[in-house]
Amino acid sequence: MKIFKQLPKYAVVGVILLGLVLAVSKFFDNDKPTALVDVRVPELSALATRGERAFNANCAQCHGKNAAGTDKGPALVHQIYNPGHHGDQAFVIAAKQGVRAHHWTFGNMPPLPLVSGAQIAAIVKYVRELQAANGIVTKPHRM
């Protein structure tokens, strides 16, 4: 019978420990954004490989590893970004000037003034090679 008298004390301690474990695990999970789409990564050209490095340094924080998207930015390996709807120049303008939110609810994209024109060109090549490997091809834009 003595154990039943102490049961509420053990339950309170258990709930507190469970809460601490959940809080700590949530803290460490924040650094691992969940991809919005599955992306098959092809063997990349030399230019796209340079673009991958530049993308990882400047874009992946929001657009995710392999441009698969996160809760901070959309997947660029998505049909909405096919070359017929968003040409290469759209990516250049986005990097240089930023973009007002229009397709998604992630908020505005700020300009990336420290990314050079050569890096942007390599990033575009990287994204286009990822898109092609995942069946995203040019489709005419219809309004």
pLDDT in tens, 51-68: 999 999 999 999 999 999
Q: Is residue 23 predicted with pLDDT exceeding 50?
A: no
- Identify whether residues 117 and 54 lie together within a single domain: yes
Would residue 93 count as lying in a domain?
yes
Q: Is residue 7 predicted with pLDDT exceeding 90?
A: no
Q: Is residue 81 predicted with pLDDT exceeding 90?
A: yes
Give the model's pLDDT for residue 3: 54
Give the model's pLDDT for residue 35: 84
Give the model's pLDDT for residue 6: 57
Close Cβ partners of 42 (under 8 Å, ≥ 6 residues apart): 129, 130, 132, 133
- Identify whether residues 64 and 97 lie together within a single domain: yes
- Percent of the chain beyond pLDDT 70? 76
Give residue 86's domain range.
46-133
Length of the chain: 143
